[in-house]
Amino acid sequence: MKNLGMLWATFLALCLTGPAASAENESAADKLYILNCGEGVAGDISRWSPGVNVGQSMDFADNCYLIHHQKGWLLWDTGVADAIAAMPDGQAPADPKATHWRRPKTLASQLDQLGIKPADIAYLAISHTHPDHIGNIELFPESMLLVQKAEYDWPGPSGAARFKPDHPVTKLEGDHDVFGDGSVTIISTPGHTPGHQSLLVKLPKTGALVLSGDAVHFQSNWENRRVPSMNADKDATLASMQRIADLVAKEKAQLWINHDKEQRDKLKMAPDFYN
């Protein structure tokens, strides 16, 4: 009787904890790598904070984020073009107030170091179509692009298309739960560009993270709600910042600001990872 009772207790315990625990393991994002996708020097930071710190330069980071989910890999942003790694002085901007980019390591070499091939990337999601975010999209010709329709349809400089027309794409109209379990969600945050988006990631140990894209470029602009002069829509930018602030509060999330080098220098870079 005693043995039968213990068996019954074990069975009950399995019913209560077993399935829930395994479901959690099977259907969650479980790893996030930060990849170095460029190092820049902004010539005049007042371009990003009108009227403030005029004529001063600032170092910019440029990150890509690689996320593992049981259903596949997602790469968030692709950084400046890998070709810049071969330029001894990097790529100087036409406007000296803009950003001079260098690339200490290619994206391809960092994926290779992790044993990941471009064809392993199921989803390629980009925050927006500025060159420091879309420099390597065609390294991944088979990956499904997740981009807002408003960004996809936005005419490029001189009216050109922003993407290769034959690249597989899902055109989004608002938020999108990538894997259907709430662990990786694209958040529509227009303003910097018409179809700008950010990313909410929930990891088992690290908890919730919001990856800003360029909804904000650095901490003091976040604290003071400053809107860069090149943004497509000032009011939409402010509304998106508020939306991110609300999301950060609701999810008790960390806000990781892509170009904020001071913050990035405190984070672990690949091959180290967050889980």
How many C-beta neighbours within 10 Å does residue 249 have?
9
- Residue whose CB is less far from Zn ion, 30 or 77: 77
Contact segment (CB under 5 A) with Zn ion among 32-40, 171-179, 211-219, 229-237 equals 211-219
Compute the least distance from the CB of residue 256 to Zn ion, in Å: 14
Total binding residues for Zn ion by CB under 5 A?
2
C-alpha count within 13 angstroms, C-beta hemisphere, residue 117 = 3
CB contact burial 1-29 (16+ within 10 A = b; e otherwise): eeeeeeeeeeeeeeeeeeeeeeeeeebbb
Q: Which residue among 39, 77, 82, 132 contacts Zn ion (CB under 5 A)?
A: 132
Compute the least distance from the CB of residue 128 to Zn ion, in Å: 8
201 phi-psi bin (left φ>0, alpha ψ -120 to 50, beta other) = beta
- Residue whose CB is less far from Zn ion, 30 or 132: 132
- Residue whose CB is less far from Zn ion, 39 or 214: 214
Q: Tell me the backbone φ, ψ of residue 176, rounded to 5 degrees.
A: -150, 120
- Residue whose CB is less far from Zn ion, 39 or 132: 132
Closest CA to 240 of 202, 213, 263: 213
- Give the span between the Cα atoms of 8 and 5, in whole angstroms: 5
Tokens of 147: 């981009």
- Residue whose CB is less far from Zn ion, 22 or 219: 219
- Per-residue binding string, Zn ion, 34-63, x by CB under 5 A, is ------------------------------
Contact segment (CB under 5 A) with Zn ion among 72-80, 140-148, 188-196, 213-221 equals 213-221
Q: Which residue among 30, 39, 181, 214 contacts Zn ion (CB under 5 A)?
A: 214
Compute the least distance from the CB of residue 70 to Zn ion, in Å: 30
CA distances from 264 to 34, 170, 260 (A): 9, 30, 6
Closest CA to 213 of 123, 122, 130: 130
- Per-residue binding string, Zn ion, 162-201, x by CB under 5 A, is ----------------------------------------
Give SS3 for 239: helix
- Residue whose CB is less far from Zn ion, 110 or 129: 129
DSSP string, 55-87: T--EEEEEEEEEEEETTEEEEE---S-GGGGG-
Compute the least distance from the CB of residue 217 to Zn ion, in Å: 7
Contact segment (CB under 5 A) with Zn ion among 27-35, 153-161, 178-186, 206-214 equals 206-214
Contact segment (CB under 5 A) with Zn ion among 131-139, 198-206, 222-230, 246-254 equals 131-139
Q: Which helix (H) or strand (E) holds 118?
A: none
Which positions ≥6 away from 134 have C-beta within 8 Å?
A: 78, 126, 162
Contact segment (CB under 5 A) with Zn ion among 79-87, 163-171, 210-218, 241-249 equals 210-218
Binding residues (CB under 5 A) for Zn ion: these are 132, 214
